[in-house]
Structure 1
Amino acid sequence: MGRKSSKEVILDAAFELVEEVGYDGATIDAIIARAGIARGTFYYNFKSKEAVIVALARHKFRPLAEQVEAKLASGASPLDALEVMVGQTMQWNLDHPHFAEALIRCSQTELGKSLPPDPNNPASFRSFVAGLIARGQEEGSIRNDTPAQMLAVMLTSLLLHGIAAWLYAPTKPDLQVWGQKALQLFWEGCRK
């Protein structure tokens, strides 16, 4: 394997910092110092810290998306694949609470700019969810009177709300239970 690109170095440094010192401590200056790059290199690759967090979320999501795609290739239904994906996503957030908080905080800025899902960006969580929903619509297990992209926005908003409640509510919900219940209730409304 060759040398990492400057973008990869920035992503690695940002993830390490967010995990160590949280979102506020992972300043652009701290990321630059950890990555050992020039300020111009940072801004050549990313316009803001929030853009780094979104890119990190997409980068960290890719292995999970590959697992879900393999599950689909082995014959799983889109609904079953999405259930696995939600469970694994919630577990990942449980394992990485500082990053979960960073993502929630960025969801009001960077993530909000990409609504609805961008079909040209398969790295987007929402776009991937929209693809799974569209497959379910094609096979007839999910109603098709609402566009898959809109349903994906609705479902990911439910999941983000659960993660935010888990992070900030005085009585924290069980994140795995929240994710599975949100998905179950969502599907009850979406089934044909």
Structure 2
Amino acid sequence: MSKSAPSDQTVSNHPLWEKRSAQRVLEVGHDHLMERSRKIVETAYELLDEAGLEGLTIRAVLTRTGLSRRAFYERFEGKDDMILAVFEEAIRKAARLFGEHVSKLDDPLERLRLIVRFIVLGKSMQQGVVSNDRRGAALSREHLRLAESRPTDLKAALQPLIALIEKQLADGMEAGLVRKDDPRRLATLVYNLVSTTVHTELLSAQDSPLDHTSRTQLANDIWEFCRRAIAA
């Protein structure tokens, strides 16, 4: 008579407590690694705001964070990888912030209008802002460059914002306010229109103080164009 197969615990070379302990070490190590990674990305974000793309160097990041070059390259392939992380984090935070602002509104078109407005206005949403939007201009330049050099990574980074736009369009279609179409395709078209216009505006005025009035008018004009394009 053949013997029954041994249990998983019997055949394992390591007791369960060792597995649990090893998992704990991995979790703690992951948190430690991510803490330093987040510190690098946050510092890069600050440097973009202060000095634009020219002021964002690996040396500047390491000087401000106190981290070693080894610590940096354990987490990022190089400057491009770091900038992509900054861009991805900016999009993720923006999508979450925009979503929170519009979540209580019933009208999907009004929600979409505000999202478009938020994207266009950016830093000039703060009344009285007179500084240059160096970070916005830098991220616009990198957006255009990444579209050529790392299109797959850029597409993934944009997903939170495009998904937010898609949700409003899908709700609008269900309510009969938006023409029937693939909501993801339409969301991508809306985002591309808005972002391309914003990139042009930011890059042409990167050395000038932000003009809240003209940026607000631009937001209104872009929304009117989008509204007519998606209307049922």
TM range (shorter): 0.7 to 0.9
Distance 1:174 1:121, change over 3 A: closer
Partner SS state of residue 108, structure 1: helix
Deviations 1:141-162 (A, max 9, x none): 2223352343233333233333
| Residue 130 (str. 1) matches residue 160 (str. 2) | no
Name which of 77, 90, 115 aligns with 1:47. Answer: 77
Partner SS state of residue 109, structure 1: helix
TM-score (norm 1): 0.75
TM-score (norm 2): 0.64
Q: CA deviation at 1:10?
A: 0.5
Question: What CA RMSD, in Å, does the superposition of the two structures yield over aligned residues?
Answer: 3.3
Distance 1:116 1:37, change over 3 A: closer
Name which of 165, 180, 184 aligns with 2:224. Answer: 184
The 2-side partners of 1:87 and 1:132 are apart by: 14
| Residue 19 (str. 1) matches residue 19 (str. 2) | no
Deviations 1:88-141 (A, max 9, x none): 3334333661101111110122255148844x9744x33433343333334332
1:11 and 1:56 in contact (8 A); partners too: yes
- One-letter code of the match for 1:148? L
| Residue 148 (str. 1) matches residue 178 (str. 2) | no
Equivalent residue, structure 2, for 1:10: 40
- One-letter code of the match for 1:105? R
1:59-138 paired onto structure 2 within 5 Å = 59-94=89-124, 97-111=133-147, 113-114=151-152, 117-118=155-156, 122-123=159-160, 125-138=161-174
Q: CA deviation at 1:36?
A: 1.7
Q: CA deviation at 1:24?
A: 0.7
Show structure 2 runs of 5+ residues with no match. 1-30
Distance 1:162 1:49, change over 3 A: same
Greater relative contact order, per chain length (Cα 8 Å cut-off, separation 6+)? 2
Equivalent residue, structure 1, for 2:4: none
- One-letter code of the match for 2:220? Q
The share of aligned pairs that are identical, in percent, is 19
Name which of 194, 200, 225 aligns with 1:161. Answer: 200
